[in-house]
Chain A
Amino acid sequence: MSDPLLQPRPEGLYCPAGEFFIDPMLPVARAVVTHAHGDHARSGSGRYQVAAAGIGLMRERLGQDALIDAHDYGETFRMGEVEVSLHPAGHVLGSAQVRMAYDGRVVVVSGDYKRDPDPTCVPFEPVPCDVFVTESTFGLPVYRWPPMAQVIDELLAWWDDCAQKQIPGVLFCYALGKAQRILAELAPRTERTVHLHGAMLRLVESYREAGVRMVPTEPVSDSARGRDFAGELILAPPSAAGSPWMKRFSKASTGFASGWMQIRGNRRRRGYDRGFVVSDHADWPGLIRSVEDSRASRIYVTHGDGDTLIRHLRDLGHDAQSLRVLRSTDNESGG
């Protein structure tokens, strides 16, 4: 593949004409970073270009001393000979698609994205292009997200059930994006306080500083030792499951919020009491729709169940290819 705008390299996806990497896994001179998840935003590079909406989160991830240039969505800036702009991806706060124009051609690297409404970030914006690079975390037609209102109904019913049984409800979800989306979706429905695991505190604070309205929260660590969390909702990252931290929530009912929870086998296997289908990635119809919206003549598909999506896009008449970009394989984190 000898595209002047797109080249997979060991460090990450490289743009030769602009001499920069998108979401490099290793330190490089110049990086454009699509969003603040750990498998995309890695510290150690010389200079970063990011969307202004996510600057707070990026500072959290990349370090206070990192050289970071923040850009409004849609604002164009030059990188070498390439005209670059960042456009909303609807994935998490400040997530961006990278549009690259050079020599009359436009390539869009969409990063991680979703099409469902999310009160914590600007919705995905379709950007017409010649080459569209899409993710495919949920690249099978069995993945179709239910309306968020329905999931919140289920979540509130579970919370009520925990209250009635006088037990804590611990909901595991990814600390960046998923947690804040749930807190924001709860805001119009309840004013009850939600308790947070320590790993979520700064990230929730970043969202509040960015003006996202959420239900009141309180760190679990602020509660007195031996406090009974009966009837309370606690949010924690999946890594806290089975850890000593869980001991204070005796008899807790546990839930997991993830797109993977769409499949019954995953729900049962994970051993959580409840599964809630909440994803910050596009579902199958969202992937297909975004490919169509791009009007691109060539589609590159990155991680996930890519082969299936590629074959289906070809069946639909698209020129679809696989683009192997190495990424840490912790697919649960982003689910």
Chain B
Amino acid sequence: MHRFAALYAELDRTASTLAKREAIAGYLRDAPAGDAAWAVYVLGGGKLRRLATSTELRQALAASTGYADWLIDESYEQVGDLAETIALMLPEGDGSLADEPLQTWMEQKLPALAKLESADRIAQLQAWWRALRPAQVFLLNKLITGSLRVGVSHRLVVQAIAQWSGQPTDLISHRMSGPWKPAADALIALTHAAGDDEHLADRPYPFFLASPLEHEVETLGDVAEWMAEWKWDGIRAQLMRRDGHVGLWSRGEERLDGRFPEIEGAAAALKSDGVIDGEILAWDAQEKLPRPFTALQKRIGKLKPGAKLLASAPVCFMAYDLLEHNGSDLREQPLRERRDMLAALIDGVDPALMLSPPVVADSWATLTVERQKSRQRQTEGLMLKRLDSPYRVGRKRGDWWKWKVDPYTLDAVLLYAQPGHGRRSGLFTDYTFGVWDGDTLVPVAKAYSGLDDKEIGQLDRWIRAHTTDRFGPVRAVEATHVFELAFEAVQLSTRHKSGVATRFPRILRWRTDKGIADADKLDDLRRLASG
């Protein structure tokens, strides 16, 4: 544990991706393979589930320190991270458990903790804390609360493994996509040279991700070298059929099998095997348009949707690329060929499996006009893909661009604030904004980003001085400040008090020139949502 705690401290202390990669690679080289496998797992975002509740952690802290609950709450509010608050408040432990390997914690001690009765769990936590140094207490708590937040992406872990093992990044990435078991042999298997008999049968390919178009579209050159299609607002996924077996994977590399039977049924009906990249959409068959993302949300959580839900919230798979056909990897072939093969593969098979239609234009000017129809088409804009491009891994710039339409904006009043986490812990950075419904302000959006550090600091001090009420960590503040928010869409929603839900709201700027009377009205949002 002390070795992993030291790695964590090293990762935490640098913002450089290169330094982080070096640190992880160094750890992988030095640590026992069993520990290293678990480190890869947790750094990549894996976690053990439901080990202890935050209430139990607080109770254990109160019992260990004798501090009052309110004092623990105040401290937590300042620090913004329970794992760290605990490490900072506890008396220093003796370090007698410092040498216990990470593998033992992850495979034995922590799973055993989950099985205890609540009172015993609290006692066990206290005993562990007494036997660990502060940095290790912090890390243990992080493992228990399940969020390392150390600025390490899955991709960075893959690169570190590639550096350590000397194997290509793409190969490691592919081997790690899908479920990966944190065990010594699994880690060592990652580092083998690629063999002809490599069996990656039930794994998706690493997704190729588009970058936002930041320059004028004309800078992309000849329009004839590009294919445009709508930018769908659904769940990015790979639909695969191999040896007749069907699988569905989200971009988060979660298996979605069973959730969308109509899509799996369509894949089963294909004439031959293949791996298709596309988007799961809630679909209105009459209008031939996607339905709002909220409709899709009804389906996401349902492991085995019933007949009623299937009828009321139908979905489709909008296919836009073919990565594999009858067992052969097509990713190095140009897009134009992959698209032709895709069209041939899915043509007329099943209405739930559609080809994402190209948006045809003979000039960038025509395409710019077409793009104006994005919202009518219930899409976020256009995707631009170079017809000669291979299917790459990850976010590589140059061949795939997302050309989104400009967001909607509204002026809203700051109503509530609560402290952020990670880099923003201890500062009030999570804001709730409202608009006028008659003569009251009703919340319509939560936003976390868009202000610079100076504005965040200024607003934080103002919030502390102008709190009118407290609900746990949430502060109600005086209605004073108006902010211009951007959002991608607004939908009617029964789950929200205001009756509308904004999608991807973020702060464009602080409108110090506006008073609260200038804020927008809920009726306008409702009209937009129904419109």
Q: Which residues of A come within 8 Å of B, CB atoms?
A: 140-144, 262-269, 271, 273-275, 305, 308, 311-312, 315
Contact = CB atoms under 8 A, between A and B. Distances in A.
A308 B71 CA distance: 7
Interface stretch (B9-17, B28-36, B152-160, B329-337): B9-17
Given A274-B13, A308-B74, A265 B67 contact: no
Contacts of A266: 426
B89 A142 contact: yes
A100 B453 CA distance: 44
A134 B122 CA distance: 36
Interface in B398-429: 422-427
B75 interface: yes
B70 A311 contact: yes
Contact of B425 (A144, A265, A271, A312): A265
Contacts of A265: 79-81, 422-427
B484 interface: no
Contacts of A305: 78
Given A143-B88, A265-B79, A268-B422, 16 more contacts: A141-B75, A144-B88, A262-B88, A263-B78, A263-B79, A263-B84, A264-B79, A264-B84, A265-B80, A266-B426, A267-B12, A271-B15, A305-B78, A311-B70, A311-B71, A312-B68
Contacts of A315: 68
A177 to B, nearest CB: 24
Nearest to A158: B13
Interface in B53-106: 65, 67-68, 70-71, 74-75, 78-81, 84-85, 88-89
B271 to A, nearest CB: 54
Contacts of A143: 88
**Residue of B14, B67, B79 contacting most chain A CB atoms (<10 Å):** B79
B78 to A, nearest CB: 6
Contacts of A271: 15
Nearest to A269: B423
Interface of B: 12-15, 65, 67-68, 70-71, 74-75, 78-81, 84-85, 88-89, 422-427, 453
Contacts of B85: 142
B15 A263 contact: no
Consensus secondary structure, chain B interface = helix
Report the 7 A-B pairs with minimum CB-CB distance, sorted nearest first.
A265-B425, A142-B88, A268-B423, A265-B426, A142-B75, A308-B74, A141-B89
Contacts of B88: 141-144, 262-263
Nearest to B419: A265
Contacts of A262: 88
Nearest to A274: B13
Contact of B78 (A142, A144, A267): A142
Nearest to B13: A274
A144 B65 CA distance: 14
Contact of A141 (B13, B71, B81, B422): B71
A263 B426 contact: yes
A141 B78 CA distance: 11
B78 A273 contact: no
A304 to B, nearest CB: 12
A274 B67 CA distance: 31
Nearest to B16: A273
18 contacts: A141-B65, A141-B67, A141-B71, A142-B75, A142-B85, A144-B88, A263-B78, A264-B12, A265-B80, A265-B81, A265-B422, A265-B423, A265-B424, A266-B426, A268-B12, A268-B423, A269-B424, A311-B70
A269 B14 contact: no
A275 B12 CA distance: 11
A50 B210 CA distance: 66
A186 to B, nearest CB: 21
Nearest to B426: A265
**Residue of B13, B80, B424 contacting most chain A CB atoms (<10 Å):** B13
Contacts of A140: 74-75, 78
B13 A142 contact: no
B453 A269 contact: yes
Nearest to B461: A329
Nearest to B78: A140
A274 B15 CA distance: 10
B87 to A, nearest CB: 9
A143 B75 CA distance: 10
Given A265-B80, A265-B81, A269-B427, A312 B71 contact: yes
Contacts of B71: 141, 308, 311-312
A275 B422 CA distance: 16
Contacts of B427: 265, 269
B81 A264 contact: yes
A271 B423 CA distance: 10
A139 B423 CA distance: 22
Contacts of A311: 70-71
Nearest to B67: A141
A142 B67 contact: no
A271 B67 CA distance: 32
A144 B134 CA distance: 12
B75 A264 contact: no
Contact of A263 (B12, B67, B425, B453): B425
